[in-house]
Amino acid sequence: MKPRLLPTGAPSHATELAREAVAGGAGLVLVLGGDGTVNEVVNGMARSRVPLAVLPGGTANVLAMEIGLGSRLDRAVERLRKCVERRVALGRLCDAGVESRYFLSMAGVGLDATIVQQVSPDLKARAGKLAYWLTGLAHLGRRIGQFEACVNGHRRRCGFALVSRVRNYGGDLEIASGASLLSGDFEVVLFEGSNPLRYAGYMLAVGARRVQSMPGVHTSRATRVEFSGDAHVQIDGEYAGRAPASFEIAPAALTLLMPETYR
Protein backbone atom coordinates (compact mmCIF):
# COMPACT_ATOMS: atom_id res chain seq x y z
CA MET A 1 0.00 0.00 0.00
CA LYS A 2 1.35 3.43 -0.96
CA PRO A 3 2.03 5.70 2.06
CA ARG A 4 -0.16 8.79 2.45
CA LEU A 5 1.11 12.04 3.98
CA LEU A 6 -1.61 13.66 6.11
CA PRO A 7 -0.64 17.02 7.66
CA THR A 8 -2.80 18.33 10.50
CA GLY A 9 -4.53 21.67 10.15
CA ALA A 10 -6.20 22.39 13.48
CA PRO A 11 -6.68 21.05 17.02
CA SER A 12 -8.27 17.57 17.04
CA HIS A 13 -7.63 17.18 13.31
CA ALA A 14 -5.18 14.34 13.97
CA THR A 15 -7.96 12.37 15.69
CA GLU A 16 -10.16 12.69 12.62
CA LEU A 17 -7.32 11.75 10.26
CA ALA A 18 -6.38 8.69 12.34
CA ARG A 19 -9.99 7.52 12.55
CA GLU A 20 -10.37 7.85 8.77
CA ALA A 21 -7.11 5.97 8.21
CA VAL A 22 -8.26 3.07 10.38
CA ALA A 23 -11.66 2.97 8.66
CA GLY A 24 -9.94 3.07 5.28
CA GLY A 25 -7.91 -0.07 5.96
CA ALA A 26 -4.51 1.42 6.82
CA GLY A 27 -1.88 -1.16 7.75
CA LEU A 28 0.10 1.27 9.95
CA VAL A 29 -0.29 4.80 11.28
CA LEU A 30 2.97 6.70 11.78
CA VAL A 31 2.79 9.99 13.69
CA LEU A 32 5.48 12.66 13.70
CA GLY A 33 4.80 15.24 16.40
CA GLY A 34 4.72 16.03 20.09
CA ASP A 35 2.76 14.38 22.86
CA GLY A 36 -0.40 16.34 22.09
CA THR A 37 -0.44 15.16 18.49
CA VAL A 38 0.24 11.58 19.58
CA ASN A 39 -2.67 11.83 22.02
CA GLU A 40 -5.01 12.99 19.27
CA VAL A 41 -3.97 10.09 17.04
CA VAL A 42 -4.44 7.61 19.90
CA ASN A 43 -8.00 8.85 20.36
CA GLY A 44 -8.66 8.10 16.70
CA MET A 45 -7.17 4.59 16.93
CA ALA A 46 -8.18 3.27 20.36
CA ARG A 47 -9.71 -0.23 20.30
CA SER A 48 -8.58 -0.81 16.70
CA ARG A 49 -5.97 -3.43 15.70
CA VAL A 50 -3.98 -1.07 13.43
CA PRO A 51 -0.42 -0.55 14.76
CA LEU A 52 0.76 2.92 15.80
CA ALA A 53 4.37 4.07 15.39
CA VAL A 54 5.75 7.37 16.71
CA LEU A 55 8.60 9.64 15.71
CA PRO A 56 9.80 12.51 17.92
CA GLY A 57 8.66 16.04 17.12
CA GLY A 58 6.86 18.99 18.67
CA THR A 59 7.74 20.59 21.99
CA ALA A 60 8.45 17.20 23.57
CA ASN A 61 7.75 13.56 22.92
CA VAL A 62 7.66 11.69 26.22
CA LEU A 63 6.60 8.49 24.49
CA ALA A 64 9.58 8.41 22.10
CA MET A 65 11.96 8.93 25.02
CA GLU A 66 10.16 6.38 27.16
CA ILE A 67 10.39 3.50 24.71
CA GLY A 68 13.97 4.27 23.71
CA LEU A 69 13.57 5.89 20.30
CA GLY A 70 15.19 9.09 21.58
CA SER A 71 14.71 12.72 20.60
CA ARG A 72 16.70 12.74 17.33
CA LEU A 73 14.55 12.02 14.30
CA ASP A 74 17.25 10.31 12.23
CA ARG A 75 18.17 7.88 15.01
CA ALA A 76 14.51 7.22 15.83
CA VAL A 77 13.83 6.25 12.21
CA GLU A 78 16.64 3.68 12.33
CA ARG A 79 15.50 2.28 15.67
CA LEU A 80 11.91 2.06 14.46
CA ARG A 81 12.99 -0.55 11.90
CA LYS A 82 13.70 -2.98 14.75
CA CYS A 83 10.48 -2.39 16.68
CA VAL A 84 7.83 -5.03 17.31
CA GLU A 85 4.09 -4.83 17.85
CA ARG A 86 2.88 -4.83 21.47
CA ARG A 87 -0.71 -4.59 22.65
CA VAL A 88 -0.82 -2.03 25.48
CA ALA A 89 -3.40 -0.58 27.83
CA LEU A 90 -4.50 3.04 27.67
CA GLY A 91 -5.65 5.39 30.36
CA ARG A 92 -9.10 6.91 30.01
CA LEU A 93 -10.24 10.24 31.43
CA CYS A 94 -13.86 10.34 32.58
CA ASP A 95 -15.83 13.38 33.76
CA ALA A 96 -13.74 16.61 34.04
CA GLY A 97 -16.58 18.33 32.21
CA VAL A 98 -15.45 16.92 28.85
CA GLU A 99 -16.11 13.90 26.67
CA SER A 100 -14.28 10.75 27.75
CA ARG A 101 -10.75 10.73 26.30
CA TYR A 102 -7.89 8.25 26.15
CA PHE A 103 -4.28 8.96 27.03
CA LEU A 104 -1.15 6.91 26.44
CA SER A 105 1.56 8.31 28.70
CA MET A 106 0.28 10.18 31.75
CA ALA A 107 -2.25 12.44 33.38
CA GLY A 108 -1.75 15.14 35.97
CA VAL A 109 -4.06 16.88 38.42
CA GLY A 110 -3.34 20.09 40.31
CA LEU A 111 -0.09 22.03 39.98
CA ASP A 112 1.28 20.69 36.70
CA ALA A 113 -2.12 20.89 35.00
CA THR A 114 -2.43 24.50 36.20
CA ILE A 115 0.91 25.25 34.55
CA VAL A 116 -0.22 23.54 31.33
CA GLN A 117 -3.39 25.65 31.39
CA GLN A 118 -1.47 28.90 31.97
CA VAL A 119 1.55 28.51 29.68
CA SER A 120 1.57 31.00 26.83
CA PRO A 121 1.39 29.41 23.35
CA ASP A 122 3.78 32.09 22.05
CA LEU A 123 6.29 31.40 24.84
CA LYS A 124 5.93 27.66 24.22
CA ALA A 125 6.67 28.18 20.52
CA ARG A 126 9.77 30.25 21.31
CA ALA A 127 11.17 28.47 24.36
CA GLY A 128 9.91 24.88 24.03
CA LYS A 129 9.95 22.91 27.30
CA LEU A 130 11.55 25.86 29.09
CA ALA A 131 8.20 27.65 28.83
CA TYR A 132 6.70 25.26 31.39
CA TRP A 133 9.51 25.88 33.88
CA LEU A 134 9.22 29.65 33.46
CA THR A 135 5.46 29.48 34.01
CA GLY A 136 5.98 27.23 37.02
CA LEU A 137 8.39 29.71 38.64
CA ALA A 138 5.52 32.18 38.89
CA HIS A 139 3.90 29.83 41.44
CA LEU A 140 6.77 30.07 43.94
CA GLY A 141 5.03 32.92 45.70
CA ARG A 142 1.55 31.37 45.68
CA ARG A 143 -0.13 28.78 47.83
CA ILE A 144 -0.64 25.51 45.93
CA GLY A 145 -4.33 24.66 45.64
CA GLN A 146 -5.53 21.48 47.33
CA PHE A 147 -7.84 18.70 46.17
CA GLU A 148 -8.70 15.14 47.21
CA ALA A 149 -7.48 11.93 45.60
CA CYS A 150 -9.08 8.53 46.15
CA VAL A 151 -6.75 5.61 45.34
CA ASN A 152 -7.74 2.02 46.17
CA GLY A 153 -10.33 3.31 48.64
CA HIS A 154 -7.88 5.59 50.49
CA ARG A 155 -8.41 9.36 50.40
CA ARG A 156 -5.62 11.93 50.62
CA ARG A 157 -5.34 15.71 50.27
CA CYS A 158 -2.64 16.84 47.85
CA GLY A 159 -1.54 19.62 45.53
CA PHE A 160 -0.23 17.55 42.63
CA ALA A 161 -1.05 14.05 41.46
CA LEU A 162 0.61 12.12 38.65
CA VAL A 163 -1.27 9.17 37.16
CA SER A 164 1.31 7.57 34.92
CA ARG A 165 1.87 4.74 32.47
CA VAL A 166 5.48 5.84 31.83
CA ARG A 167 8.60 6.55 33.84
CA ASN A 168 9.54 9.70 31.95
CA TYR A 169 8.11 13.07 32.90
CA GLY A 170 8.58 15.85 30.39
CA GLY A 171 10.97 13.66 28.39
CA ASP A 172 14.04 14.05 30.61
CA LEU A 173 12.90 13.56 34.22
CA GLU A 174 11.65 10.53 36.12
CA ILE A 175 8.87 10.52 38.72
CA ALA A 176 6.90 7.27 38.33
CA SER A 177 9.97 5.04 38.39
CA GLY A 178 7.99 1.79 38.47
CA ALA A 179 5.59 2.56 35.63
CA SER A 180 5.54 0.61 32.37
CA LEU A 181 3.44 0.67 29.24
CA LEU A 182 3.39 -3.12 29.44
CA SER A 183 1.70 -3.17 32.85
CA GLY A 184 -2.05 -3.30 33.36
CA ASP A 185 -2.28 -0.42 35.83
CA PHE A 186 -1.17 3.11 36.68
CA GLU A 187 1.61 4.19 38.96
CA VAL A 188 0.05 6.99 41.02
CA VAL A 189 2.30 9.52 42.77
CA LEU A 190 0.64 12.01 45.16
CA PHE A 191 2.35 15.12 46.51
CA GLU A 192 1.13 16.64 49.78
CA GLY A 193 1.33 20.26 50.91
CA SER A 194 0.36 23.77 49.91
CA ASN A 195 3.69 25.57 50.49
CA PRO A 196 5.28 26.31 47.09
CA LEU A 197 8.80 25.92 48.51
CA ARG A 198 7.91 22.34 49.34
CA TYR A 199 7.27 21.71 45.66
CA ALA A 200 10.60 23.29 44.76
CA GLY A 201 12.13 20.66 47.02
CA TYR A 202 10.11 17.94 45.34
CA MET A 203 11.42 19.01 41.93
CA LEU A 204 15.02 19.01 43.15
CA ALA A 205 14.45 15.46 44.40
CA VAL A 206 13.00 14.52 41.02
CA GLY A 207 16.25 15.67 39.40
CA ALA A 208 18.20 13.51 41.86
CA ARG A 209 15.81 10.55 41.31
CA ARG A 210 14.97 10.45 45.00
CA VAL A 211 11.50 11.98 45.02
CA GLN A 212 9.59 8.83 45.98
CA SER A 213 11.53 8.57 49.24
CA MET A 214 10.62 12.11 50.33
CA PRO A 215 8.16 12.80 53.18
CA GLY A 216 4.81 13.87 51.73
CA VAL A 217 5.17 11.80 48.56
CA HIS A 218 2.96 8.71 48.33
CA THR A 219 3.19 6.09 45.56
CA SER A 220 0.72 3.32 44.77
CA ARG A 221 -0.60 1.24 41.89
CA ALA A 222 -4.21 1.28 40.76
CA THR A 223 -6.51 0.67 37.81
CA ARG A 224 -8.85 3.52 38.75
CA VAL A 225 -8.25 6.86 40.52
CA GLU A 226 -10.80 9.53 41.44
CA PHE A 227 -10.27 13.23 42.14
CA SER A 228 -12.57 15.83 43.66
CA GLY A 229 -12.25 19.50 44.56
CA ASP A 230 -11.06 22.54 42.63
CA ALA A 231 -8.18 21.42 40.39
CA HIS A 232 -7.11 21.49 36.76
CA VAL A 233 -6.50 18.29 34.77
CA GLN A 234 -4.06 17.49 31.94
CA ILE A 235 -3.53 14.37 29.84
CA ASP A 236 -0.38 13.74 27.80
CA GLY A 237 0.67 17.34 28.44
CA GLU A 238 -2.53 18.91 27.08
CA TYR A 239 -5.14 20.73 29.14
CA ALA A 240 -8.23 18.56 29.69
CA GLY A 241 -10.62 20.36 32.07
CA ARG A 242 -11.26 20.42 35.81
CA ALA A 243 -12.07 18.04 38.62
CA PRO A 244 -14.17 16.16 39.56
CA ALA A 245 -12.49 13.63 37.31
CA SER A 246 -11.50 9.99 37.28
CA PHE A 247 -8.96 7.93 35.37
CA GLU A 248 -9.32 4.26 34.57
CA ILE A 249 -7.37 1.61 32.69
CA ALA A 250 -8.64 0.48 29.30
CA PRO A 251 -6.91 -2.93 28.91
CA ALA A 252 -5.22 -3.95 25.64
CA ALA A 253 -6.64 -0.95 23.80
CA LEU A 254 -3.83 -0.09 21.35
CA THR A 255 -1.19 -1.81 19.24
CA LEU A 256 2.09 0.11 19.58
CA LEU A 257 5.40 -0.42 17.78
CA MET A 258 8.12 -0.61 20.45
CA PRO A 259 11.72 -1.81 20.71
CA GLU A 260 11.79 -5.45 21.71
CA THR A 261 14.05 -4.54 24.65
CA TYR A 262 11.46 -2.25 26.30
CA ARG A 263 10.28 -3.46 29.69
What CATH number does the domain containing 46 carry? 3.40.50.10330
Note down the domain range covering 21: 13-89+254-259
On whether residue 85 sits in a domain, the answer given is yes
Contacts of 121 (CB under 8 A, 6+ apart): none
Q: Are residues 233 and 138 in the same domain?
A: yes
Check residue 172 and give its pLDDT. 77
Q: Are residues 204 and 222 in the same domain?
A: yes
Check residue 11 and give its pLDDT. 85
d(CA 220, CA 215): 15
Q: Are residues 172 and 64 in the same domain?
A: no
Check residue 138 and give its pLDDT. 81
- pTM score: 0.93
Average pLDDT across the chain, whole number = 92
Check residue 61 and give its pLDDT. 84
**Number of domains forming the structure of the chain:** 2
pLDDT tens per residue, range 11-64: 899 999 999 999 999 999 999 999 999 999 999 999 999 999 999 988 778 899
Q: Are residues 123 and 52 in the same domain?
A: no
User: Is pLDDT of 1 > 80?
Assistant: no
User: Is pLDDT of 147 > 80?
Assistant: yes
Check residue 25 and give its pLDDT. 93
Q: Are residues 77 and 179 in the same domain?
A: no
Q: Is the peptide bond before 244 cis (omega within 30 degrees of 0)?
A: yes
Q: Are residues 83 and 99 in the same domain?
A: no
CATH classification of the domain holding 128: 2.60.200.40
Q: Are residues 96 and 84 in the same domain?
A: no
On whether residue 3 sits in a domain, the answer given is no
On whether residue 132 sits in a domain, the answer given is yes
pLDDT tens per residue, range 188-235: 999 999 999 999 999 999 989 999 999 999 999 999 999 999 999 999
Check residue 98 and give its pLDDT. 64
pLDDT confidence band for 97 (50 / 70 / 90): low
Q: Are residues 101 and 76 in the same domain?
A: no
Q: Helix (H, G, I), strand (E, B), or coil: what is residue 75?
A: helix
On whether residue 66 sits in a domain, the answer given is yes
Q: Helix (H, G, I), strand (E, B), or coil: what is residue 65?
A: helix
User: Is pLDDT of 126 > 80?
Assistant: yes
Q: Are residues 81 and 100 in the same domain?
A: no
Q: Are residues 54 and 161 in the same domain?
A: no
User: Is pLDDT of 73 > 70?
Assistant: yes
Q: Are residues 72 and 167 in the same domain?
A: no
Contacts of 172 (CB under 8 A, 6+ apart): 65
Q: Are residues 45 and 153 in the same domain?
A: no
Torsion sign across C-alpha atoms 56, 59, 255, 26 = negative
On whether residue 7 sits in a domain, the answer given is no
pLDDT tens per residue, range 99-123: 789 999 999 999 999 999 998 888 8
